[in-house]
Amino acid sequence: MWLLRRKGPSGFSSSSTAEEVTDGIDGTGLTAIVTGASSGIGSETARVLALRGVHVIMGVRNLEAGRNVKETIVNENPSAKIDTMELDLSSMASVRKFASDYQSSGFPLNILINNAGIMATPFGLSKDNIEQQFATNHLGHFLLTDLLLENMKKTAVESEKEGRIVNVSSEAHRYTYPEGIQFDGINDESRYNKMQAYGQSKLSNILHANELTRRFKEGVNITANSLHPGIITTNLFRHFNYGNGLANTVGKLIFKNVQQGAATTCYLALHPQVKGVSGEYFMNSNLHKPTQHGQDVDLAKKLWDFTTNLIK
């Protein structure tokens, strides 16, 4: 379809792949963490970053699945630098252990890709008694970023290269609860709507990047942006009864493949076009405007304070 191939100002479109948007870019000497890298767009992001010479640390909940992805990548690209580390974003203890182990490894950190996520799950609480989607998609990544930020600042100074934080959000942020974030009812099962709760968590990803940008003091050479990867037929759809049938029926018309789905993430991680760009939302490797909630400075500040209290 011609609409899918229509290029934006960046020169890329929704049909551009992760390899295409990073073509000719040398990431040698850079180190990146990719969460949720054992499947879907996370594994493709890890593969393409490694292809460009980046040392990739895959943060995965299932170590066996992560090792299988690593083996596949290395078989295709023997020079790939890939490591796997256990990370369950729904558990603050797991996030803290990952960050501690990472710091002990001595690895620098240029790029943090907060990619892992769950979608439209039935109501449930995390190990820390927080609604599962909010805990996994937002809280875990907020804590991870907070724990690794000093490493990123140090790396940016020592390497003289811009650090980049990339939050994988979604256009589903448009379908959150009417007030944006249900601060007084995060754990209220009676008010829970699985799609609005997903939208709330994805709105939180945008607000997190925006508030990070606001808080970065002058001289901090790190950017933070968020993105919509597109609608991709991955296992995120496992909680939809109609998901697989819908994907098979109209997938070729409206869905992206995984190679296209990872494009905007890789674009924000590596492309020189976005050097110095921060606090923005992207779709199809081009700037895109989020909702009013997604641009609300006061809401971003309130979410930051709310989340900070939860991780204490």
> Helix or strand or coil: residue 287?
strand
What would you measure as the largest C-alpha separation in the chain, in angstroms? Answer: 52
Query: Distance between terminal CA atoms of the chain?
Result: 49
Tell the residue number behind the tokens 């890329």, with chain if given.
12
CA distance 271 to 215: 24
β-pair partners for 57: 33, 83
Single out the residue of 209, 136, 197 nearest to residue 172, CA to CA: 197
Which residue out of 192, 198, 267, 281 is catalytically annotated?
Answer: 192
196 in Cβ contact with 119 (< 8 Å)? no
Is 192 annotated in the active site? yes
CA distance 194 to 246: 19
Active-site annotation, residues:
192
